[in-house]
Every structure is written in structure tokens, then in C-alpha cells.
Amino acid sequence: MDVTSENRVVVTGMGCVTPFGVGLDTFWDGLISGRSAVAATADEVWRQWAPVVAACNHFSPADFLPRKQVMNTDRFTQFALVAGAEALRHAGLLGESGDVLSVDGDNVGIALGSAFGGIQTFEAASIRLSTQNTSRVGARVVSKSIPNAAAAALAMQHHIRGPVMTYATACASAANAIGEALSWLYTGQVDVVLAGGAECLFTPTILAGLHDAGALATSGPEDLSQWSRPFDADRRGMVMGEGAAFLVLETRRHAERRGAQVLGELLGYGASCDAYHETAPHPEGAGAVLAMRRALKSARLDVGEIGYVNAHATSTPAGDSAEIRALRELFGEHLDNLPVSSIKGATGHMLGAAGAVEAVATVQALRTGVLPPTLNCDRPEAGAPADLVSNEARPCPVDTAISNSFGFGGQNGVLVFGRSGR
């Protein structure tokens, strides 16, 4: 695919709902402060499988959405609506009517990643049928729970009529959504893409399933906020999170024509599949290496030109070890001098939305010259990257960075970002 100076893809807006609260500034301030959003699980039923979570406790959909819309949407869609609107507003594209400004809605697309969609709605309906003397669940159950519900709601909210696609590739969903949007912009199918992900998987079935698969942390330090421990030798599993994040992507030519502020550049994208196991990553990180190599090739960069890695590192023993091997295989000796961090020590793992939240963090790191920390990595696993930006944010201007996302089924998505004006 021929990339010219005019069709290079830039980031012009970002928005998010995270366990730190609502909004980009709230997220970034929480992240670089070194605080953790991980805490005890409030729901007594869920606590038997997941004693700690990173929940969006400060999010009340009624504060942002009309009552009828709240009734007709699942929580993951509500996250998407709020985060997507912030991203469009940040890009200077949101009119008072809710329409996208200065661009025809036919020429705007949506690429959204979610591992499950509206699973809370679906499970509540199943429980109703099985425990109550009724054969009815309501007319909105399917439309609220179907995986493309959030993307469709965003399209209707903002009158976006271009391609509106939903990607379900486990923990790589949002990264794949953002990466796949590149081709739409390179080939001129659309001028603007709202790309990201949304997820809310706090249900008995999902938590019990992840617990039984050995993925969740069920014990840890006395301080519960320290249970998510990426790359730490004493890590015991991931901590579940929830939320949404979006980036507004457009060609540089289109952004310049409308006088938009450029926050960063999406330089490349790589995807692959381990083709190894339903839940475990390839132990040598073979698929992860392939995705990273493809991303660098797409970005036309060598390994020595990367200045920072936002790692996937979920705090699972197998996953972090495989990523360490992948990074060693790809970067070689350069890894010893390369800053690496995982924000999941602070945010938990948002599964299908993780790639979008971490893409926002990566762009913010390039914009501000501050790298977010890896919390709770007190004793790094043998062989881990030498520079894990441990526990405290670090002023460190860099020009390029990669963001990794690896999921169940061996699904891998890697994004390469560049600093604006580099």
C-alpha cells in the first residue's frame, strides 16, 4: 500500500472512560501520578471469582446520556458513547446537534473492538428466564447485547454513514480495530475514522470462566491495589478492568485542510495469529514477534528507531513470559536500553478495550514526553526488559513507540505511533 505525505494518518482527537474516571485528562493524570485504580470488588457475588477489579465506579451514564438511551443500551455501549463523543469533541468535530462537523457523514467510519459486546444484558436476560416464571426478556435484549451495538449507537448518535465495523479478537480487538482503519484512510474510502474499543465483562459467567481458566488473580499483597503486577516474578494473574477509549484518525491532508491539531501519527500496524492454543500464548512469543515485525515493516522503521514500548503484559505468568521472549527476539541488544512499561498495574486489563486505552496512553506519552509507569513490579522476572519504567512516571521524550495487544486464540495486534512533527 503506497503511503504518501498526504495520506499519512494522524490522530486529532482522543477520549476515554477508564477506572480512573471519565475523560482523557482524568485518565492521564491518574496514570502518571503512579496511582492504581485496582480495588476490592464491590459486588459480593463477583468477589468469589475476582476479589479485586478495576471498575469505573465514578461513571454514571445518567450524567451523560438521556434516560431513554440509558434504558436502551448496555454498559459497554454507554462507555463507548461517552468516550467517542469526547474524542470527536477533542478533534473539533462535534457539533451541538451531535452531527460530525466539517465532513460529510458518508465519509466518516467507525472501527470498534469488543471481545463480547453487551454481555451484562445478555446474562441478565438468561438469569431472568431461568429463575423467574416468565418467558419474556424484553424487546431490547438482542439490540443491547449484540456485539455491534456500541458501534451502531455511535453511528446513530453522530449520523456517521461510512463503514461501521466491529472487531472481536479477544484482547487484541481494539488494537485490530484501530489498525484496520488505516487501510480505509490510505485508500480514500473515508476521510475520518473514529477508532477504538469498549468493554464491560463483569458478569458471573465471564468472571467464573476466567477464574477457572487460571487467568485471574485470586490472591496477592495485603494492599489490594497491588494485585496487578506486570512482569513481576510474584505475579499471580490479571485483574479485570472495564472502560472504553477512542482515537479520531484522519489523513494528514484532511486534518491540515480543516486546521485540526495533530496529536500524533499512526505510522503502522501488524497483525498475526499464534495458531497454537485456545488461551495460552505461544511460549516463545512467535506470533507476537510476527505482529511486531509486520507493524515495523508497515511503519518503515527499524527496531533501533523505536523509543518506547507500551507492553501488553497482563500480569499472567504465561503471557508476560511470552512477551518478554518476543521482545528479546525482536529487539535483541537494543532492548537493554529501551524503556518498556505496562499500564495494567494501574488500570487492570480491559480486554477488548485494552488496545484502545493503551493506544491513548502511548500517544499521550509521545505528546507530553512522559512515560507512564509499570506499577507493582518490585522483582522483575528473570530476562525481563532492563528498563521497565518501574513505579514512577518518567520524563523521557521519544519520537516513536509501539503498543502491543495479544489475546486468547493467539490474536495479536501491534500499533506503531509517532510524535507529531517528528
Mean pLDDT of 193-220: 96
What was the pLDDT predicted at 4?
Answer: 60
Are β-strands 394-395 and 400-407 bridged in parallel, bridged antiparallel, or unpaired?
Answer: unpaired
Kindly tell me if the per-residue pLDDT of 3 is higher than 70: no
The CATH code of domain 266-419 reads 3.40.47.10
Q: What's the CATH fold of domain 10-257?
A: Peroxisomal Thiolase; Chain A, domain 1 (3.40.47)
What was the pLDDT predicted at 98?
Answer: 86
pLDDT tens-place string over residues 236-257: 999 999 999 999 999 999 999 9
pLDDT tens-place string over residues 336-371: 999 999 999 999 999 999 999 999 999 999 999 999
Catalytic residues: 171, 312, 349
pTM: 0.96
Of 263, 221, 406, which Cα lies nearest the Cα of 323? 406
Mean pLDDT of 175-198: 97
pLDDT tens-place string over residues 72-125: 999 999 999 999 999 999 999 998 888 888 899 999 999 999 999 999 998 988
- 120-152 residues labelled b (16+ CB within 10 A) or e (exposed): bbbbbbeeeeeeeeeeebeebbebbbbbbbbbb
Mean pLDDT of 154-174: 97
Q: How long, in residues, is the chain?
A: 422
Mean pLDDT of 132-157: 92
pLDDT tens-place string over residues 45-69: 999 999 999 999 999 999 999 999 9
pLDDT tens-place string over residues 37-51: 999 999 999 999 999
- 206-226 residues labelled b (16+ CB within 10 A) or e (exposed): bbeebbeeebbbeebeeebbb
Domain ranges of the chain: 10-257, 266-419
User: Grid coordinates standing for 309?
Assistant: 514500548
Average pLDDT, the chain: 95
Kindly tell me if the per-residue pLDDT of 220 is higher than 70: yes
Are β-strands 400-407 and 308-310 bridged in parallel, bridged antiparallel, or unpaired?
Answer: parallel
pLDDT tens-place string over residues 122-143: 898 888 888 888 888 888 889 8
Q: Are 10-257 and 266-419 the same fold in CATH?
A: yes
Task: Give the C-alpha separation, 201 to 120, whole Å.
Answer: 7
Kindly tell me if the per-residue pLDDT of 325 is higher than 70: yes
